[in-house]
Structure 1
Amino acid sequence: MDRISRRIHSKTSWMHGMASAPRARFDLQVTWVIIFYHVLARRILHGSGTRTPVAARVNLQGRERMRVALVYPDYYQSGCIRGQPQGRVHLGSGYLSACLKRSGHDVAYLHLVEPVTREGFLEWLGNQDVGLVAFSTTSLMFPKVKELARWAKEETGLPVVVGGVHPTLDPSGTLQVPHIDFACLGEGEWTLVELAEALEGRGRVEEIGSLWGRWRGREFSNPVRPLVEDLDTLPFPDRSIYDMSKMAPDQRERITVMASRGCPYHCRYCSNHAQRRAYPNGDRYVRFRSVDNVLAELEGLAEQAEGIDHVRFDDDILTLRPRWFEEFVREYPRRVKLPFICNCRADLLDEDKVAKLKEAGCKTICMGIESGNPWLRRHVLGRRMTDEQILRAFRLCRKYGIGTVSLNMMGFPHEDFSMVLDTVKLNARAEPGITQITVFRPFPGTELYRLCIEEGYYAEEEADTIFTRRSTLRLRSLTDEQMELISEFITPLAYLYNQVFSLPSSLSTVLEKALDAFLSGSKVPYSWKRRLGEEMLRRLPWEWFLSTKY
């Protein structure tokens, strides 16, 4: 029984004991009392036609120290595999926590690596004594964030703010959710700090830069604040919030760090170009921490951590700035002495860079192939690199003994299955250590999102769901079965094509066409195609692909 219902029950019980009142008049009085309490309850908890301002429901002012709940749902790509959690270190949460704590606030962090029940989430939230609930989300995870926000709002009435890529690209859509009070656009460290302070009474919520929302019956949408141009002014991420038992095994063996923010390229499927447009100083979108600042963080972490065997740089392109790169490859092996993994762009790698990366301790480079079809890659995805540039980058890595990971996608507008097979074949020629492929999903604010809507690919009924292995688009030339086949068996199929390409050209051409016809043939039973993938998976010499630990 909720609090108001208990009060009604207590009141009516007492009134039933009034023997002197006439029964009819007494029943009428009880009826009016119940109606009065329920009307009052509805106005307090739900408002009368419009949302009641948060300040009317929760008294946040006068708190000596604001405690903020940071919630990061992570299970659309994580969950558990064979009982092992698969969470990833989210540096964004670490930066938010560090800035809040530097400003005198406290943090409760919830990293959700698998689905949670309403009861479980509210039990955790109820034990934290927080004054603000903050979610960080991508578009893929936003459907779950909406549900969590509703639970939090209905149970506690606390203010709810959502930040991350999704509200940055679609703030209006984010605030259409009635249980979300604020949307934080762009980099959120200082916006969240100012919001916590304003809720304590030390500022005006409706004047905070980069914040959109509803407050005291008034809607507001403030301009995005400038980017933090000097990343060295930010504190190091607060790693005390991470529960490493929730992380994937590889996450427990590495230090994840970012030396930079932003990417200068204009890939049409990526949110970077849309985010860059949001800032008043978007021409400074790409920023690097100083080499000394990065290595100082790593030195401290390497000394404290146990069981750490490598560093993972999560930057979009670590080799982007030549002068920074030269200083980094000179100082890193002297000061850190741990192997590292990084992301690079294939058309930016040359022999000199690869040699220096190897000498500095690079063990693996991750590169996006994305599509093996040159026309699709250039005209649909906006990636202006050739097959030869991609193959040369992978060859150089093999020459210097650096492992490779290729990153691929499928399910694009205008893509058919022959183009998907082009992706398999380019991976077969590149011979990466690990091949990964995902199904494309358009993100709000990107050019491909707009194209999908304009050309009728966008399926509104599927947009609010979480899918990672089948498309949410109305594709005209690809089926779910075809994408499922490649999702599960791209590695063994790439190996099979690799073996075909190693044969004499006359025989190779015939076998390639035969394999194409078998995999794409509409009259070939799907079960036969899966059987081929399963057989190749069993016969696959894993040392050919897993040449390095990723």
Structure 2
Amino acid sequence: MKILFLLSNFYFVERLGFLYAVSPVKRAGHDVKVLLPQSLTYDHLSDEIRKLDPDIIAYSNTTGEHNYFVKLNKRLKESHNFFSLFGGPHPTFFPDLIHEEGVDGICIGEAEDAMLDLVTKIEKKEDISCVKNFWIKRDGAVHKNPSRELIMDLNKIQFPDRDILYEADNGVRDFHTKCFIASRGCPYKCSYCYNHKLNDIYPEKGTTLRLSSPRNLIDEILDVKSKYPMKFVMFEDDTFILKPGKWLHEFAKLYADEVKLPYFCNVRANLINKETMEILKESGCYSVGMALECGDEKINKNILKKSITNKMFIQAVQLIRKYRIKVRTLNLVALPVKNPLDVDFCTLDTNLKSGTNLAIGSLLYPYPNLEITKYSMDNGYLDSDNSFKNFKTSNNDAAIFNYGDPLVNVKLQRFHKLFSLTVAFPFLRYFTGYLIRLPLSSLYNILNIIWYAYFNYMILVPKKISIKHIPSMTPDFFRYILSLKKY
């Protein structure tokens, strides 16, 4: 069988999810290839598909980018014969995608075993309408199948097949940073996040929080290190330190002894303590990410369902920096509240007090079916017709809530662009209230992008590593910025 994945451009980010599904399929002898259609003209893409003649064309999409691929798939169906399959976060949480014209099937949830089962049945021309984890459309009827049991032991899952990723994008292969996942799932129930929704997909099928063993994780890192350029490691776990102390101790020793590379991981303020920081520092942690979200504690707790106090957050940042580990904080701005600017300034000031190295502010996007979205509708901040069909790939374009005054939205958008810069250069705090009244949104946006890129690629990563990659990174970086407006 020949399977072709059509994916969004990577821009240095390794999209590991679909690679876990690819590994068992390739090992079974099937031919798998990746193309990046946004880097090709339609005619070029169509010619490539004609040459490859795939049996299956698969897409792995997040919400927002799915719009482009649904339209592309419909157009390709007019001149090519293939089974179209959509997977990834969007169809997992919005399975009604199956009703879009040209969509033959969707995969819901994890696909390591499911994908191989489907491919095998298609190859043998067997009935595919009952394969678990898939909704299949046949002759106008949709066959909705339940999810299968979760794979509880992550050590049993094959390492993601990065070869097809790097064949499609040499820049990702040669980039100094490689990504890894040590755990799956999140026990927290933040109102603006889909993580806990996975429990609805896998009811009574096992906890969604699962771990790889330290030995298995280190073996994967060493395998990648032996094959590809790698100077920096990024762990993409939602909360890397949300693991038993024994796990962290074993990981730290193995990593320091065998990998010996600086790394980044995500942490959580309520889990930061001296013992944990000593483990991270000794193992080689160079930088961390940590979320505050909102500096108004009542809103953080009651609306965002984020039980992190300002005191807890500030103490955590200061303790992390005491160990000379760099901190990037995450925050939400333009919230569905009566006084959004006052709340956002509170969040800004909390970050300034903490002494964080970088603070990122993201405009809150009320995706369908989230608790925060229902709250926004119930309180008049959002129309009931909140269709994700109009969402862009980036959620940082506009403050979309209804505050009764369009000027408030404009000021919030300008504030968002100035957020990181103000934390980096605290003297700007004296002028922020004035700056958001000036019609300089485009300038603020450019400055924000430049600073964000500089910090993420020059500060969160050791300079001796990042400087060497500036020439190769620059063209892709500008293509990425342009893509945010296009898709």
The TM tier, using the shorter chain, reads 0.7 to 0.9
Match of 1:319 among 241, 251, 271: 241
Structure 1 residues 370 and 206: alpha-carbon distance in aligned structure 2, compared to 1, 3 A threshold: same
In structure 2, what is the equivalent of residue 469 of structure 1? Answer: 396
Match of 1:276 among 199, 203, 224: 199
Give the C-alpha shift of residue 195 in structure 1: 1.6
**Aligned counterparts of 2:450 and 2:23: Cα–Cα separation in 1:** 47
**Aligned counterparts of 1:382 and 1:248: Cα–Cα separation in 2:** 39
Asked whether the 8 Å contact 1:194–1:203 carries over to 2, the reply is no
- 1:321-347 CA distances to partner (integer Å, 9 max, x unpaired)? 122112111221112111111111111
Larger gyration radius, structure 1 or structure 2: 1
Identity of aligned residues (%): 24
Give the C-alpha shift of residue 515 in structure 1: 4.5
Structure 2's unaligned 5+ residue stretches are 463-487
Matches within 5 A, 1:392-411: 392-411=315-334
TM-score (ref. length: structure 1): 0.75
Specify the SS of the correspondent of 1:93.
Answer: helix
Structure 1 residues 408 and 219: alpha-carbon distance in aligned structure 2, compared to 1, 3 A threshold: same
Specify the SS of the correspondent of 1:284.
Answer: coil
Match of 2:15 among 81, 90, 104: 90
**Aligned counterparts of 2:274 and 2:167: Cα–Cα separation in 1:** 37
**Aligned counterparts of 2:196 and 2:352: Cα–Cα separation in 1:** 31
Matched, 1:549 2:473: no
Give the C-alpha shift of residue 202 in structure 1: 5.3
Give the C-alpha shift of residue 124 in structure 1: 2.7
Specify the SS of the correspondent of 2:368.
Answer: coil
Amino acid paired to 2:160: P
Amino acid paired to 2:55: G
Matched, 1:489 2:418: yes
Asked whether the 8 Å contact 2:13–2:172 carries over to 1, the reply is no
- 1:91-121 CA distances to partner (integer Å, 9 max, x unpaired)? 1122122121122211011245x46543233
Match of 2:146 among 199, 207, 223: 223
| Matched pairs, number | 453
Match of 2:306 among 383, 399, 402: 383
Structure 1's unaligned 5+ residue stretches are 1-65, 79-85, 501-511
In structure 1, what is the equivalent of residue 94 of structure 2? Answer: 170
Specify the SS of the correspondent of 1:398.
Answer: helix
Specify the SS of the correspondent of 1:429.
Answer: helix
Asked whether the 8 Å contact 1:377–1:383 carries over to 2, the reply is yes
Give the C-alpha shift of residue 350 in structure 1: 0.7
**Aligned counterparts of 2:2 and 2:448: Cα–Cα separation in 1:** 54
**Aligned counterparts of 1:108 and 1:231: Cα–Cα separation in 2:** 25
In structure 2, what is the equivalent of residue 104 of structure 1? Answer: 29
**Aligned counterparts of 1:276 and 1:237: Cα–Cα separation in 2:** 24
In structure 2, what is the equivalent of residue 241 of structure 1? Answer: 164
Matched, 1:301 2:224: yes
Structure 1 residues 345 and 229: alpha-carbon distance in aligned structure 2, compared to 1, 3 A threshold: same
Asked whether the 8 Å contact 1:161–1:181 carries over to 2, the reply is yes
- Report the aligned-residue RMSD: 3.1
Asked whether the 8 Å contact 2:64–2:388 carries over to 1, the reply is no
**Aligned counterparts of 1:300 and 1:461: Cα–Cα separation in 2:** 43
Matches within 5 A, 1:27-426: 66-74=1-9, 86-111=11-36, 114=38, 116-172=40-96, 174-201=97-124, 203-243=126-166, 246=169, 252-281=175-204, 283-306=206-229, 308-322=230-244, 323-414=246-337, 416-426=340-350
Give the C-alpha shift of residue 547 in structure 1: 5.1
- 1:401-456 CA distances to partner (integer Å, 9 max, x unpaired)? 11111122223322611112222222212222222222222233322233344445
Matched, 1:432 2:356: yes
Structure 1 residues 425 and 533: alpha-carbon distance in aligned structure 2, compared to 1, 3 A threshold: farther
- 1:251-295 CA distances to partner (integer Å, 9 max, x unpaired)? 810221111111111111111011222103454100001111111
Give the C-alpha shift of residue 89 in structure 1: 0.7
**Aligned counterparts of 2:301 and 2:273: Cα–Cα separation in 1:** 21
Specify the SS of the correspondent of 2:160.
Answer: coil
Specify the SS of the correspondent of 1:263.
Answer: coil
**Aligned counterparts of 1:442 and 1:547: Cα–Cα separation in 2:** 31
Amino acid paired to 1:313: F
Match of 1:441 among 359, 365, 386: 365
TM-score (ref. length: structure 2): 0.84
Asked whether the 8 Å contact 1:209–1:223 carries over to 2, the reply is yes
In structure 1, what is the equivalent of residue 465 of structure 2? Answer: none
Structure 1 residues 149 and 384: alpha-carbon distance in aligned structure 2, compared to 1, 3 A threshold: same
In structure 1, what is the equivalent of residue 468 of structure 2? Answer: none
**Aligned counterparts of 1:491 and 1:217: Cα–Cα separation in 2:** 50
Asked whether the 8 Å contact 2:403–2:409 carries over to 1, the reply is no
**Aligned counterparts of 2:358 and 2:223: Cα–Cα separation in 1:** 31
Specify the SS of the correspondent of 2:35.
Answer: strand
